[in-house]
A and B are shown apart, each in its own frame.
Chain A
Amino acid sequence: MAELTTTKLNAESHLILDQPLLRTPYELSRRNQKTAQRYVENTNKDILSNLTTATKAASKSTAPDATLASLDTMISKMQGLKRKMENLHEEEMRIHKSNRARLEHLQDLYEVQSLVDVKYDEWSRIRLSRLLVDYLLREGYSESAAHLAASQGIQDLVDVDAFVACHKIEKSLREEKSTTLALNWCKENAKELKKQQNYLEFQLRLQQYIELVRQGHEKGIGEQKLMEARAHAKKYLSNSGDFGLIGRAAGLLAYKPWDEVEPYASLYSPTRWTSLATLFIKTHHALYSLPPRPLLHIALSAGLSALKTPSCHSQYASTSGTPALSSSTTSVCPICSTELNDLARNVPYALHTKSIVESDPVVLPNGRVYGKERLRVFNEGLGTERGWVRDPGEGLGGEKWRESAVRKVFIM
């Protein structure tokens, strides 16, 4: 039979939520290395061909000025490369530093053996702050995210910059209806996107085409715009292989945005920008191994269910774990607390196969069950007259009974 309670901490299986913490810096490092490689390869090719040209030129003419000028160009190109490499190196070191902080943070968990250890408590609080920052970043609350990260001193454990860059592009699609930033991003990550057979770039190009056609129809003088649109389609869309879509796109030339004829109306629809923004985020997160949903949702969904009991949304006041009723040794249930009560309404409650009750349970004439000791302590605190008891759930305002009316109850 499975254990019903446990305080044992198994770090290895506890790290489910923490994979993205290490994935992101790894992906960033790889991207950084690839960028460096691209820079070096391109500059090398460039410089060597410059040198060949200069050597040829120098053998023909005796004027040194041209040679010097081409050498100067080469030197400044190489210096440009060096500057870029220095920047990438700085970035590289920054990523390593943050990665080290993350690995050490996770290693800390391996040093803790018990879920009731204070050290676990501290560790878990840092984890919550991480999850909160991740959530805030995803929702676009970057200012709050950066503020919280700084205040908790966990900047190395969160990816503020990556998300801020992502949101800038998303916003340019959603709000400014501009494809420029997103297309730049596609160009920077062309290789990886191709590997994933991602169609974000195609969708962006299609949107550009739609906008050209729209302008063509709207401006009356649009013949030129429509020509541009045709050229654009030929260049970017024709080799996609999706003939159905190309057919529909061609149909746009004949149907105007205000004709409201499907399937053209949905191509013209402004909601396409929202789907582009969503598609971009999906592509971005996949590329950086970021989970599609906030980790906070995942942790909370599981946690709310693990803690929830039928009492948390019952119409009857529970005799345990309830906030305003009585001061007692049991703490207030977090699911009953204002913060989470409504949120937990739609999640399933925890499965229990055995009753969990206070030791020595007794029942009052009104049917409410308490641990004998807690009932005694409460009535002492309340100053109830000797020989009488009051219900902790009602306090001084409620009924009182003779002690003899309190019965032992058997809960198996």
Chain B
Amino acid sequence: MPPQPPPSTAGGMQELLEQLEALEKTANLRSSIDDVQKAIDLLTAARNNIAEQPQTAPLTLAKLQDPLKRSLEQAQKDLKPIYSGLNKYGKALDKKFKDKPLPSASNDALSSHPQLINRAIAMHLLREGEFAVASTFVQEANRHPPHPEPTPNTPNPALNEPWEKDLAEGTLNSEKLQEQFVEMYHILDELRQKRNLGPAILWARQRSDVLEARGSNLEFELCRLQFVCHYAGYKAQSDDLMEDDSEIATGPLEAWNYARREFVTFQRRYAGEVRQLMGAMAYWPNILESPYARYFINDAAWEDVATSFTREFCSLLGLSADSPLYIAATAGAIALPHLLKLQSIMEKTRTEWTTQNELPVEIPLPPSYHFHSIFVCPVSKEQSTDQNPPVMMPCGHVIAHESLHRLSKGGRFKCPYCPSESHPKDAIKVFL
């Protein structure tokens, strides 16, 4: 067989793993312990000898001298391979991390806000469903409130702003939040494991107004899935399709009844979809060959509603659907190599980072880590802020407010991107 080509990730932790294996297998205390046991055996044999024949004591002891010394020395000698094995391991470790310094704490803005970190952690634990850990933590943190430490931006953390004081005293209303996440996990569990839409539909129905005002389709999506379940003869808590399709079509009948009962409220917003679902009635029992098949054979549907449920649930609490702590820590790990590179360049060139409000380098993140639209003025290349918002000229091109003023000097001016001319007062502020 031809030898396997080396994997593209050659190196990795392989060298360290090999060194560790040597330590585990041979270079450990085992052989020294055996040497110690040998010494004990020698001593015990000598002792027994003398106990039996007391007159031989001087001779026995004299004879003991050398072998005992040897086995004791051996015990010491057998420690050496551990020492050299660890040394080799240490060198490999240094090599592995040679160009990866431990990040310094130079831009640690967080030490002055331990209460906020604690709150973020408690919320993270709750939203990840680690309820027991969360309650241990909230109790422990209440018993031992953290000590804020000064940082450059907050030199006097003792003079906490009120919102931080509130947190320090109440830490956070974790019980209420926990109740909510317990509810969320209960509903998700019913959805994913038991294929029971009931609790989710109830939850959505109770919040119908808010969800509708947000333009959310959640309630309808849930009910549509329920309709499909009835139609296909799914029963909550059992995955069996009803097999007796030769008899009366109980499934479609139930679905029909369900639709008449529940779809009234959806008539206005989802008239089209409802009509399609009802149209499916005609195709029983050949639904899978019908144009409606996509509604009925869609395993992803359960995961989809679970995901949109989680998103709506968290949004109504003002929270993002994935743990912000997770996203931020991950983004941080992605950003660190870039920041460290910058740091070393700045040290070399003895420059300082002049823009306090903005990072001096661009950090490439995966697109899923972009949450807001970003406006960078094509004229000044500056990012828009509340003080310098984007404005749209009558031609539809957008530049930053400051750029507009610089270009127009108060009078009519030509758009830098098309021939049209306008007056600054015709530009309108836009929001991204």
Contact = CB atoms under 8 A, between A and B. Distances in A.
30 contacts: A7-B366, A14-B337, A15-B100, A33-B86, A36-B32, A44-B72, A58-B61, A67-B61, A92-B28, A116-B366, A127-B330, A128-B330, A148-B130, A293-B111, A300-B328, A300-B332, A302-B332, A303-B333, A311-B373, A321-B372, A323-B320, A324-B315, A330-B371, A333-B371, A336-B371, A337-B319, A338-B318, A382-B215, A383-B268, A410-B398
A412 B68 contact: no
A383 B269 CA distance: 4
A82 B140 contact: no
Nearest to B271: A383
A64 B50 contact: yes
Given A349-B358, A369-B432, A303 B105 contact: no
B328 A23 contact: no
Given A59-B58, A68-B50, 18 more contacts: A14-B334, A14-B337, A17-B336, A22-B96, A33-B79, A36-B79, A89-B33, A93-B28, A127-B333, A128-B326, A306-B331, A309-B371, A311-B373, A316-B386, A334-B371, A339-B324, A343-B113, A409-B396
A261 interface: no
A348 B24 contact: no
A311 B329 contact: no
B215 A75 contact: no
Which among A23, A332, A392 has the highest number of chain B CB atoms within 10 Å? A332
A392 B396 contact: no
A404 to B, nearest CB: 15
Main secondary structure of the interface of B (DSSP, over half): helix
B366 A355 contact: no
Contacts of B61: 51, 54-55, 58, 67
Contacts of A74: 43
Contacts of A336: 320, 371
Interface in A10-24: 10-17, 19-20, 22-23
B383 interface: yes
B89 interface: yes
Interface stretch (B11-19, B231-239, B274-282): B11-19
A110 B12 CA distance: 6
Interface string A273-303: 0000000000000000001110011111111
Interface string B384-404: 111000101001111000000
Contacts of B322: 331, 334
B26 interface: no
Nearest to A407: B396
B242 interface: no
A382 B20 contact: no
B116 A299 contact: no
A315 B386 contact: yes
B40 A298 contact: no
B337 A16 contact: yes
Nearest to A362: B396
Contacts of B20: 96, 99-100, 103
A176 B163 CA distance: 33
A71 B50 contact: yes
Interface stretch (B131-139, B186-194, B295-303): B131-139
B176 interface: no
A29 B154 CA distance: 40
A148 B37 CA distance: 41
A337 B318 contact: yes
Interface residues of B, number: 161
Interface in B373-421: 373-376, 378, 381, 383-386, 390, 392, 395-398, 417
Given A41-B76, A131-B329, A298 B36 contact: no
Interface in B32-72: 32-33, 36-37, 39-40, 43-44, 46-47, 50-51, 54-55, 57-58, 61-62, 64-65, 68-69, 72
A148 B16 contact: no
Interface residues of A, number: 157
B320 A337 contact: yes
B103 interface: yes
Contacts of B314: 332
Nearest to A144: B137
A13 B99 CA distance: 9
A291 B100 CA distance: 13
A227 to B, nearest CB: 39
B299 to A, nearest CB: 18
B216 interface: yes
Given A106-B13, A312-B372, A395-B214, A353 B362 contact: yes
B347 to A, nearest CB: 16
Which among A89, A139, A350, A392 has the highest number of chain B CB atoms within 10 Å? A350
A319 B432 contact: yes
B374 to A, nearest CB: 4
Interface stretch (B121-129, B222-230, B245-253, B255-263): B121-129
Interface stretch (B195-203, B285-293, B423-431): B423-431
A17 B339 CA distance: 13
Contacts of A323: 315, 318-320
Contact of A358 (B323, B366, B373): B373
Given A3-B364, A30-B86, A293-B108, A22 B16 contact: yes
Interface string A130-143: 01100110011101
B324 A340 contact: yes
Contacts of B312: 327
A37 B77 CA distance: 10
Nearest to A390: B215
Contact of B103 (A17, A68, A78): A17
A297 B332 CA distance: 10
A151 interface: yes
B47 A300 contact: no
A141 B139 CA distance: 10
